[in-house]
Amino acid sequence: MPFVKVYIHCVWSTKNRIPYLDSIELRQKVWQYIRENANQKGIFIDFINGYSDHCHCLISLGVDQNIQKVMQLIKGESSFWINKNELTKEKFEWQDEYFAVSVSESIVDKVRDYIKNQETHHTKKTFQEEYDEFILRYGFKKMIN
C-alpha cells in the first residue's frame, strides 16, 4: 500500500469574476457542500474558504488522483448543485481556469491561515490583485483576457 501526502493549494474564480457568492451564509453552504461531496469521492479537502467571486482549497491528493480530475469534479458538481438548488439569482458558473501550486508540509499551517482569513484579506485586496500576485510569485505566464 503506497503512502502519499501531496498538498495542493487550488484557487478558482466564478465565471467573469461575478460575485455570485454574495453572503457569508451562502459561501459557507457552498464550501460545506464541496467538502462533503469531495469526501464522498475520496478527495481530501484539508481546508476550504473563499470570497464572493472565488474559492481557495487546500487538497491532499490521493495516490490515484490528479489535479485536473479533482478540479473538474469539485467545480462541476458544485456548480450543478448551486444551480439545482437555485442558490444564486442567475445561472452560476465557475471560470474554466484555475491556479494550483504544491505546498510544502512545512508551511501547510501558513496556507491554512491564509485560506481561513479570506473575509478579512479581501477587505484590503481584490481577487484580481491577489491573482496578479500569484502569477508573479509563482512565475506563471499571465493569460490575456
DSSP state of 89: S
The single-letter code of the amino acid at 25 is: E
Least confident of 31-40, 90-99, 124-133: 124-133
How high is the pLDDT of residue 143?
56
| Spatial CB neighbours of 41, under 8 Å, sequence gap ≥ 6 | 73
Strands 54-61 and 6-13: antiparallel
Q: What is the mean pLDDT of the chain?
A: 91
Q: Closest Cα to residue 11, out of 75, 54, 60, 73? A: 54
Domain spans, the chain? 6-137
Q: Select the more confidently predicted residue: 49 or 139.
A: 49
Asked if 47 and 98 count as a contact pair (C-beta separation under 8 A), the reply is: no
Q: Is the pLDDT of residue 1 over 90?
A: no
Predicted model pTM:
0.87
pLDDT given for residue 60 in this prediction: 95
Q: Compute the distance between CA of residue 8 and CA of residue 103 in angstroms, rounded to an integer.
A: 6
Which pLDDT score, from 0 to 100, does residue 142 have? 60
- Report the greatest alpha carbon distance in the chain: 47
Confidence of residue 4 (pLDDT cuts 50, 70, 90): confident
Where do we find the cell 448551486?
A: 82
Q: Which residue has the higher pLDDT, 52 or 1?
A: 52
Residue with cell 480530475: 69
* 52-105 tens-digit pLDDT: 999 999 999 989 999 999 999 999 999 999 999 999 999 999 999 999 999 999
Q: What is the pLDDT of residue 3?
A: 82
Q: Which CATH architecture has domain 6-137?
A: 2-Layer Sandwich (3.30)
